[in-house]
Amino acid sequence: MLMGETIMKRVVWGVLGTSRIGIKHVLPAMRASPLIDLRAIASRTPAAAEDAARALGIARAYGSYEALIDDPEIEAIYNPLPNHLHVPLTLQAAAAGKHVLCEKPIALSAAQAQALQEAAGRVHIEEAFMVRHHPQWQRTRDLVRAGRVGTVRAVQVFFSYFNDDPADIRNQPAIGGGALYDIGCYAILGGRFLFEAQPRRGIALVDRDPSLGTDRTTSGLLDFGGGRQLGFTVSTQCCAYQRVQVVGTGGRIEIRIPFNAPRGGAMQIAIDDGRTLDGTGIAFETLPAADQYRLQAEAFSRRVRGEEAPYWGMDDAVAQMRVIDALWRSERSQRWEDIA
């Protein structure tokens, strides 16, 4: 440590639920951070909380969400509960004075998300899009800003996996399952992040599973104005695949594993000068190894401590949900829908 340098006091975190994304990705990343004291985990099933706490070395296990929220030592809460519980549990946590990092989508509609805006005036509330913290996304945006590929006209996203298990919460429409909510939100976020703008209108093509009722494949086209377009296809019933293409007047950038970047692995982006179709104009740039989940939690922790950190608050989350709302309206109308 350099002379005069101070160490930030660790932020005490609690976790609501024992979701797969939390247990497999987010919580191990938080445990590895010197900025975070991951002190408690809660589940409606006490045994599940105890098992998770034991496996991850977490000091306290609670048999209800309310008990964790009421713990006076908890400063920040990570909420990875099923989508329909994001708003009500985030509101409960905020009412208790806890800052909340809430998994995506933060709500099931813009109206629901707006219910969090007043609370966000008292505590920090952020939608957990970890990709915004990964060096490959930040470097891609820097290259776009610098004009490396000319004027960007189109961003194209494909993101899919196969899961037709009716017991999986991602396949239950009543609680926010389906492709658009689960992974389409990443495609929308990617366009908004790289264009640094809100789309003006959108149109969707939706295929619903006849048994599950969820959208198993959804494609969308978003108009950002000025000739800028985001096109995407997301599916819960295709093979595992993901790519992002950023195409401009003077070249192309490809993010090869854009959303599930290996934790702690160095990543490459491909930068194509666009002169040929045979790949001879492609150069690869290697980004430093990073854990996007750790970077996200650390940035939020710094914000809790009043230190400067990347931050996307409720205005951004509401804007994100307005896009999803418009695409659901388009499914019904089969027309372009304006995005407020």
Gap between the Cα atoms of 280 and 43, Å rounded: 53
Which residue type sits at 301?
S
Active site residue ranges? 104
Sequence-distant (6+) residues with CB within 8 A of 267 are 134, 135, 136, 256, 257, 261, 286, 287, 290
Q: Region of 42 please: left (phi>0), alpha (psi -120 to 50) or beta.
A: beta
Nearest by Cα to 140 from 286, 253, 231: 253
Nearest by Cα to 314 from 100, 43, 157, 137: 100
Cα torsion 42, 37, 122, 320: sign: negative
CA–CA distances in Å: residue 102 to residues 120, 161, 284: 12, 23, 34
